[in-house]
């Protein structure tokens, strides 16, 4: 969204007429500071949004990991119980035969 050479010349002429040749450099410096400050503010805001999104993605990934971990832990506990039950049945069957 830049401006062309013709537009730039018109802006300079209007500024020269309105402000005058003595104050034009001062106004240009002030305007440059405002533009720089506005760009910095936009960059800071953009960076803040990116950080928030990264943090949100991390939180979602953490919750997903915790859910998966709980499910895996539950499944392991179920398998462990099945192994123990099978071992007890086999042990009981061995004791009956003796």
> For residue 3, is it within any domain?
no
Half-sphere exposure of 26 (CA within 13 A, CB side): 5
Domain assignment present for 31: yes
DSSP conformation class of 20: -
d(CA 47, CA 64): 26
Total-model pTM: 0.45
Given a cut of 70, whether residue 18 has pLDDT beyond it is yes
What pLDDT, on the 0 to 100 scale, is given for residue 73? 92
Cα separation, 32 vs 7, whole angstroms: 18
Whether 38 and 47 have beta carbons less than 8 Å apart is answered as no
Question: Is 13 inside a domain boundary?
Answer: no
Distance CA 36, CA 1 (A): 17
Reported confidence tier of residue 12, pLDDT bands at 50, 70, 90: confident
Q: Domain of 57?
A: 21-97
What is the domain count for the chain?
A: 1
Q: What is the pLDDT of residues 43-98, one digit of tens each?
A: 888 888 888 888 888 889 899 999 999 999 999 999 999 999 898 888 888 887 76
């Amino acid at each position: 969204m830049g401006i062309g050479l013709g537009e730039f010349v018109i802006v300079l002429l209007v500024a020269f007429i309105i402000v005058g040749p003595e104050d034009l450099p001062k106004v240009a410096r002030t305007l440059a500071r405002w533009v720089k400050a506005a760009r910095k503010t936009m960059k800071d805001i953009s960076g803040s949004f990116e950080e928030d999104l990264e943090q949100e993605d991390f939180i979602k990934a953490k919750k997903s990991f915790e859910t998966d971990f709980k499910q895996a832990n539950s499944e392991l506990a179920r398998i462990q119980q099945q192994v123990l039950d099978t071992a007890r049945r086999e042990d009981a069957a061995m004791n009956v035969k003796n």
